[in-house]
Structure 1
Amino acid sequence: MLKETEYNFYYKLKKQSVHKTEVPKTVINSNVFSNLVNSGIVGKEKVGRGHIYQIVKPSDFEKFLSSAFPNPGISVNNKSDNIAKFRDSKATITEGKRIVFLRGFENVRVNKQEINLAQYIKNFGLFAVELKSLETPKICFVENLDSFLEAEKIIKDGFIFLHAYGRIGSELIKSINAVEALIFSDYDFVGLNEYLKFKSHFPNAKFFIPDNYDFLFQKFSKPLKKKDEGQQKPSEAVKYSTDEIVVKIREQVLRTNHFLEQQIVIREINEN
């Protein structure tokens, strides 16, 4: 399915010719664009040392646009708008519902209301909310749900634990008002990227590393997925970070091609 980059390019091409250097790589390498050129709907004309693309068969190009982008005038605000405009729910990034789970034994202020979190934990095990704002002295983001449900066994000191439905975004982080922020995640590129997201909003944010981390990594780390299985790669932020923790874990993962899942940290505590 086509996405926003393709949409912008094809509607630009509808209005004017486009030089080859202005064609996005995702477009020029796509089967859709190749078919348009090979069928003669879009023409390629030499200009100077390069060449331009232009529409040769306007009526056929209009048919292509109406099929590829059924509702071009729609403003995209959610996934259903993506489907209507691009026929793909993931065509553009949209701000979804910020659903989070909370655990802890302190009172917190959620969406401007005081919540006795301990009472919810006692009765239901967790507190779920569409988060608009959160105020608490200490917040700990936990990447995996099963670790979130047991995190207080290894992280104490009055932290409130938060697990987000899906990846945590910058807008969600901005909605949190806390003095201390701790990230408890897998020890891999994804975990480091989540840490740096928090670090950009909470400069004093810390990445939780147990005292026996090196032992756990040596004994329980697992290989990264292979390239054809969607292998992890460090984001630009992780790749160029000079943060001491990021450098340590990043270089270890790159050197060994292994990473450590956070669940083993809690398992070792439970067994001991």
Structure 2
Amino acid sequence: IWVAGTYPQPSEAAMPGRRAGNIARVRDSKGGRSTHDRQPMLLRWFDPDPAAPFAVLTQRWGVAALTTDRYVELLPPSRWILLTVENWESFVATDYTGCQDTIIVIYTGGNPAEATISALGSLEPVPVRALHFGDYDWSGLVIFRRLRAVLPTIELYVPEDIEALIHKFGNPGLIEGQMPLGEREDDSDAVREVIRHISRYNAGLEQEIVPAPAITLPLGNPL
């Protein structure tokens, strides 16, 4: 009885999001769907009000941060724009100083954890516009689809010259080992376009070669 209680069988469910539970279940801290129930959220906050708390932190330290269980502390204004960015270099290069509306840029760190996805989908008020800026490969599209599952209005940022960029800078090695994707009925035109170009050139494109989006409001008024 003592052995069974101390060393659970692998069939027993792990404690959600806790590495100790994963170790007890399969002797591997990373052996569950989620290894942490709290994840860091790194962000860059740009605001017309330079005294906005997270804007001050961004200006002083380059980034601001909180954990996903405290997303309610973000307190975005009634009118704000969300930009999620997959890779670090592109994230820290974003600069929307002088914007007319609040822009919150959140670093996904590659494929975001479930806790991060859940927090992004729970932010209130919802953004007036949401965009995702990531790699143009199969994995990048998977990340976008995961985000869209909780943020139905999020758009995939695709530059106008995406085909020329993939043709010139695309890397076949980038998609090696990645599962190719087919078009889905709910895919946007932007997603379908990227799928076509990846398939045509058999190559993916890393986002660092693409400048960050010049964000505009839904009515087309530039910030």
TM value normalised by structure 2: 0.72
Query: Could you give the per-residue CA deviations for residues 111-139 of structure 1, whole angstroms, max 9, x where no partner exists?
Result: xxx95222112211100110332443211
CA contact (8 A) 2:20 2:29 kept: yes
Ranges in structure 2 where 5+ consecutive residues have no aligned partner? 215-223
| Aligned pairs, number | 190
1:198 to partner: Cα distance: 2.5
Could you say which residue in structure 2 is the equivalent of 1:148?
A: 91
Q: Are 1:129 and 2:66 matched, yes or no?
A: yes
CA contact (8 A) 1:224 1:257 kept: no
1:220 to partner: Cα distance: 1.0
Q: How does 1:9-158 map to 2 (within 5 A)?
A: 70-72=7-9, 75-77=14-16, 78-94=18-34, 95-106=36-47, 116-131=53-68, 132-133=70-71, 134-136=74-76, 137-152=80-95, 158=101
CA contact (8 A) 2:175 2:203 kept: no
- Which has the larger Rg? 1
Which secondary structure does the structure 2 equivalent of 1:217 belong to?
helix
Tell me the percent identity: 25
CA contact (8 A) 2:166 2:197 kept: no
Q: Which structure shows the bigger proportion of residues in strand conformation?
A: 1
1:166 to partner: Cα distance: 5.6
Query: Could you give the per-residue CA deviations for residues 141-163 of structure 1, whole angstroms, max 9, x where no partner exists?
Result: 0000111001237xx66421100
- Whose RCO is larger (CA < 8 A, sep 6+)? 2
TM value normalised by structure 1: 0.60
CA contact (8 A) 1:220 1:260 kept: yes
Ranges in structure 1 where 5+ consecutive residues have no aligned partner? 1-65, 109-113
CA contact (8 A) 1:98 1:172 kept: no
Query: Could you give the per-residue CA deviations for residues 205-227 of structure 1, whole angstroms, max 9, x where no partner exists?
Result: 11112233222222111113575
Q: 1:147 to 1:79 in 2, by over 3 A?
A: same
Aligned AA for 2:108?
A
Could you say which residue in structure 2 is the equivalent of 1:171?
A: 118
Could you say which residue in structure 2 is the equivalent of 1:252?
A: 197
Please give the alpha-carbon distance, in whole angstroms, between the structure 2 residues aligned to 1:144 and 1:256: 23
Could you say which residue in structure 2 is the equivalent of 1:160?
A: 104
